Amino acid sequence: KYLLVVRQRRIAEGALTYEHPAGMVDNTQTPSEVAVKEIFEETGISIDESRLRPVLNNRRLFPSTGTSDECMYLFFTELELDRGEILALHELKTGVDDENITTLVLPFEEAHRRMNNTNCILLNLAYLKETQDWELLKKLSL
């Protein structure tokens, strides 16, 4: 399995980070609408909302209830692409406004190893649980 991740500089980290496409929900869009929009803006891939699969029973998750009212919804989708389509997504420069994003197609284990964002790690583990990929889960160094 491979993950399509985005690499970008984050202010809090000060370094390049490896993450899943993500964005903020406002009062005009649903979480799944934002997910579709962010996937397109950050990777160039257009998917239908019906392709999104929520994880953790589509619960609102709060990364830090003591310091923030921000919540998260986590989704995944699986795509089958031919080699040419995959190669076209590797090291693609994307992003809107001032975002400076590069997409990378990495083996799942390598992508997981590069991620240091708790939300990304949680999504990886929730995805493996949802898809019941116990073999890959065993291979990850947590």
Q: In 3-state terms, what secondary structure has residue 83?
A: helix
**Triad 38, 105, 127: Cα angle to 5°:** 65
Return the pLDDT at 108: 96
Return the pLDDT at 141: 66
Q: In 3-state terms, what secondary structure has residue 87?
A: helix
Return the pLDDT at 30: 92
The whole-model pTM stands at 0.88
**Which secondary structure element, helix H or strand E, spans residue 130, and what is its range?**
helix 118-131
Return the pLDDT at 142: 64
Number of H helices, E strands in the chain: 5, 6
Return the pLDDT at 125: 95
Return the pLDDT at 7: 95
Do 103 and 90 form a contact (C-beta atoms < 8 A)?
A: yes
Ranges in the chain, pLDDT < 70: 141-142
Q: Which of 2, 12, 1 lies closest to 119, judged by CA?
A: 12
Query: What span, in angstroms and rounded, lies between the C-alpha atoms of 65 and 74?
Result: 17
